Structures are given as structure tokens and as C-alpha cells.
Homo-oligomer: A and B are copies of this chain.
């Protein structure tokens, strides 16, 4: 019937991309496997060999997110403020990943890839933050950027910061520079 080949060849990437699109439109709770399948142009059962289940798909998405976050934080070096800015920019630039990453109820918690990616991201953050701060300041910085990103994504922050949340968080993080 269709000219589409029986074997898609890259269902995994197509599924992740389609899921990102769907989550950006309706949030993770409203995500439907069949909707993702329609967007990707495959049947809803095509995901089984690749992800096992819906939780498996979201777990893979979370793992990809932690990897991207690790890359982003590592790229800016050991500056606490700029690492924080990178954290917020990642969250705002990849809202679907970010939302899924920190909702453990959506994951297969024991997934090896996810655990490895979480560890990579944790190492990257610890390295960047601990270079210029003590333990308490490190926790403060992480909480600030994580809270700021969450509040921004949920629309709770006053408008006006909306233009560039990455820059908007910089003066907030600078408060911590004086505390060392």
C-alpha cells in the first residue's frame, strides 16, 4: 500500500523525537504511545523491541537528557555561575527532557543507561560547582538553578524574565559569590 518500507530503520530516534514533540505540547502525563507512533509513522507496537514499554521510552528519554545536561555543564568549565546558567539554559531549551528526568515515577529506576547518565551529570555538576564553593554553597547553587528552571517552566515566575531565563538567573547566582 504505502511506499514506506516495512523496516523503519531508526525507530528509536524517531520515537524519542516524536515523544519530545508530544511532551512539549501536552506534558508527560498526557503522552500517548499511539500518538508518538502516529507522529513517527510506525505502529504503536513498533516500540516494544526498542523500549519494552512506555516507561522504557521515558526512561531512555531521561537518560538522553542527563547525558545532554552533563555535556552542557562540562562545556562551560569550572565556573559556578556559568555552570548554573548552562543548567538553566538546558532546562529551558529541552523542557521535555527536563520534565521527564526529574519524575522518577515515570522511569524504570534500575535502568543501567539511566543510572550511568545520572552519574555522569552528577559528576559534571559536582566538578563545576565544588571548584568554586563549599558543600553548602554547592547545594545552594544546584537548588537555585533547579528551582529557577522549574518555576520558569511552570510559568510561575513574573513575566519579563521570559526573554532569556539563562541570563536572568545570573545575578541570582552571583549572590552566592559573596558567601564563600
User: Which A residues form the contact surface with B (CB < 8 A)?
Assistant: 26-30, 102-106, 136-137, 139-140, 142-151, 154-157, 169, 171-172, 175-176, 178-179
> Residues of B contacting A106 with CB < 8 Å?
27, 29
Give the oligomeric copy count.
2
Task: List 24 A–B pairs whose Cβ atoms lie within 8 Å, in order of A's numbering.
Answer: A27-B103, A27-B104, A29-B29, A29-B106, A102-B156, A103-B154, A104-B155, A137-B175, A139-B148, A139-B157, A139-B172, A140-B144, A140-B172, A143-B143, A143-B144, A143-B172, A146-B147, A146-B150, A146-B151, A147-B148, A147-B149, A147-B150, A150-B150, A175-B176
> Residues of B contacting A154 with CB < 8 Å?
102-104
Question: By CB atoms of chain B within 10 A, which of A30, A137, A142 has the most?
Answer: A142
A94 smallest CB distance to B (angstroms): 16
> Residues of B contacting A140 with CB < 8 Å?
144, 172, 175
